[in-house]
Amino acid sequence: MIELTRKQTLELLEAAVNSAGPDTVRSCFYASEMEDGTLYPQCIVADVFSRLDESGMLLETLHLSEGTGIQNFTDEHLGIKTEPGVYALLHQAQSIQDNGDTWGQALDDVERLAVAMDQSRSFRSNLFNN
């Protein structure tokens, strides 16, 4: 089973942005089909999943579920195991992109959210361990 951590999510988002360019603005569709039937990622979330799963199964699942926000997916639906917070990070990236902002802006916002998540976990841990 494919596993996805928050750290991997950030790394894959960064790779997507570095590959496409920080000024990239794309459609709200997960994937498009080429003439030969091959799918290619259109949005930042689909790009992450295509990098995570080279078999193309995750990208196909997303493509067949067009119109469904990433926050509505589950590990069982996608056939992966995620760490808590992964879908929140992906949803943030998708929301920024779907608002017409750049992939670079999406990555910046997701990185800030990840820091806030880590600080919140640290705070709760300290609160309950003292």
- The reported pTM is 0.87
Map tokens 């199964």 to a residue. 57
Could you tell me where the DSSP H helices lie in 33-102? 44-52, 57-64, 75-78, 86-98
Q: How far is CA 39 from the centre of its chain?
A: 17
Residue 125: per-residue pLDDT: 59
What are the φ/ψ torsions at residue 109 (nearest 5 degrees)? -65, -40
Q: Is 116 inside a domain boundary?
A: yes
Total residue count of the chain as it appears in this document: 130
Q: What is the predicted pLDDT for the residue at 74? A: 80
By residue range, what is the domain housing residue 120?
A: 2-125
For residue 20, being part of any structural domain is answered with: yes
pLDDT of residue 21: 96
Query: Residue 29 domain-assigned?
Result: yes
Q: Distance (Å, rounded) from C-alpha 83 to C-alpha 10? A: 12
* Position 130 in a domain: no
Residue 100: exposure state from Cβ atoms within 10 A (0-12, 13-18, ≥19): exposed
C-alpha pair distances (Å), 114 with each of 74, 76, 94:
20, 24, 15
Q: What is the pLDDT along the chain (130 residues), one digit of tens a residue?
A: 899 999 999 999 999 999 999 999 997 899 999 999 999 999 999 999 999 998 999 999 999 989 888 878 888 888 899 999 999 999 999 999 999 999 999 999 999 999 999 887 665 555 566 5
